[in-house]
Amino acid sequence: MATTGILNTTLLRVYVGGTAVAHATDASISISQSPRDTTTKDSAGWRDLLEGLRQFSISTSALYAMDAAYGVDDLYTALSGRSEVTVKFSTEVSGDEYFEGTCYVTSLEISSSGAEDNASYSASFEGTGALTKADVS
């Protein structure tokens, strides 16, 4: 049954190749469109625009566990191999909407700040091609 009301952030996760990024603490998606400038001398001094390129990026942060089901090792392999990965931004609750697309891992940052604290990492993905939106079945 689809989620109702205001969404609890715990439900939204990043999945790579169908597997959730382990120990995630944060997830986000950004979808944008770069307009084309069509201003001419006939525009009476006002800027005119038409639609342009659309793009998307997805990012996640997580606690670093070397034995994670899907974590730093997997992301590093995709990044260093210049491999495309299928990335999904979803609750995985039946009936909820999700976003999915083909991406490249564009950054991987591992952090070990402070003393007696958790090591963490963040990963960013840039989309190539279309982003799809569908319902979890």
User: What pLDDT tens digit does each residue of the chain (137 aa) get?
Assistant: 899 999 999 999 999 999 999 999 999 999 999 999 999 999 999 999 999 999 999 999 999 999 999 999 999 999 999 999 999 999 999 999 999 999 999 999 999 988 999 999 999 999 999 999 999 99
Instruction: Write down the H helix ranges in 14-111.
Output: 72-80
Q: Give CATH superfamily name and number for 11-34+48-135.
A: Hcp1-like (2.30.110.20)
Q: Residue type for 8, please?
A: N
For the chain, first and last CA: distance in Å? Answer: 10
Distance CA 121, CA 107 (A): 10
- In sequence order, the 6+-apart residues with CB closer than 8 A to the CB of 95 are 1, 2, 3, 135, 136
